[in-house]
Amino acid sequence: MFRKEKLIEICKKNKWRLTEPRLEVMRIISLSKKPIKAYDILKKLANKIKNPKPPTAYRAIEFWQKHNLIHRIESLNAYKACSQVHKHNGAQFLICNECGKVIEFIQHDLPSIFKETSQKSTFKPLRWNLEINGICNQCS
């Protein structure tokens, strides 16, 4: 859920530059019931900022994603606010094929099978997403 005061506090604490477009993009993403696409963010951004250009939205999205406060749902090409305010390198999502609801669940560490495989392959994972499609309880 969008809490402007909390975002301001986090940005000040970490010395991140907080701009009005960045704040507005986070508000739009946070208030969206489902993951939202970049061009839909841009359309909504036009309600608050006069004639915003695509780079305005994309830079704000990149800022929040870089700081792990939003996630990109790869299979939907859309963005969702992180349900947890913490630093993490991985995210997992349950995606309902019927209603489009996305539930973030928390697994802070890369599952051991992936760790073992990456170590054997001399590969160092930096970020990871796991998306599981299915049917939520409300739709089944």
In this prediction the pTM is: 0.84
pLDDT value at residue 90: 74
Count of CA atoms in the C-beta half-sphere (13 A) of 130: 13
Question: What is the distance in angstroms between the CA of the first residue and the CA of the last residue of the chain?
Answer: 26
How do residues 22-64 score in pLDDT, each as one tens digit?
999 999 999 999 999 999 999 999 999 888 999 999 999 999 9
**Better-scored residue on pLDDT, 1 or 46:** 46
pLDDT value at residue 133: 94
Q: How confident is the model at residue 68 (pLDDT cuts 50, 70, 90)?
A: confident
The rounded distance, in Å, linking the Cα atoms of 135 and 70 is 23
Nearest Cα residue to 85 out of 42, 136, 26: 26
Q: How confident is the model at residue 3 (pLDDT cuts 50, 70, 90)?
A: confident
Q: How confident is the model at residue 87 (pLDDT cuts 50, 70, 90)?
A: low
Nearest Cα residue to 34 out of 73, 86, 89: 73
How do residues 93-134 score in pLDDT, each as one tens digit?
999 999 999 998 876 666 777 778 877 888 877 777 889 999
Contact at 8 Å (CB) between 42 and 52? yes
Residue 4, pLDDT > 80, answer yes
pLDDT value at residue 137: 94
Contact at 8 Å (CB) between 70 and 25? no
